[in-house]
């Protein structure tokens, strides 16, 4: 299971193991889902995704 999921619509990256109801992951469209290789927050940030404040914080 991937650790991080990016939403290309909002440009937010979520930590799946810590996701909250308000992250609305289930509302992310398939075409907007971005997984990362390597599956790290640093890699997501380097691809211009911002950490979700609900499940990652600052
Ligand atoms: Zn989140």
The per-residue pLDDT for range 17-36, each reduced to its tens digit, is 999 999 999 999 999 999 99
Q: What is the mean pLDDT of the chain?
A: 96
Query: In angstroms, rounded to a whole number, what is the distance separating the alpha carbons of residues 10 and 42?
Result: 18
Q: How far is the CA of 3 from the centre of ligand 1 (A)?
A: 12
Torsion angle (degrees, nearest 10) of CA 13, 18, 20, 24 = 40
Q: How far is the CA of 38 from the centre of ligand 1 (A)?
A: 19
pLDDT of residue 58: 65
Say if CB 7 and CB 32 are below 8 A apart.
Answer: yes
Residue 52 or residue 58, greater confidence: 52
Q: How far is the CA of 20 from the centre of ligand 1 (A)?
A: 6
């Amino acid at each position: 299971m991937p650790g991080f999921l990016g939403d290309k619509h909002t440009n937010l990256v979520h930590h799946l193991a810590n996701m909250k109801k308000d992250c609305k992951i289930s509302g992310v469209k398939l075409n907007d889902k971005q997984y990362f290789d390597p599956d790290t927050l640093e890699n997501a940030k380097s691809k211009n995704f911002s950490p979700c404040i609900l499940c990652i914080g600052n």
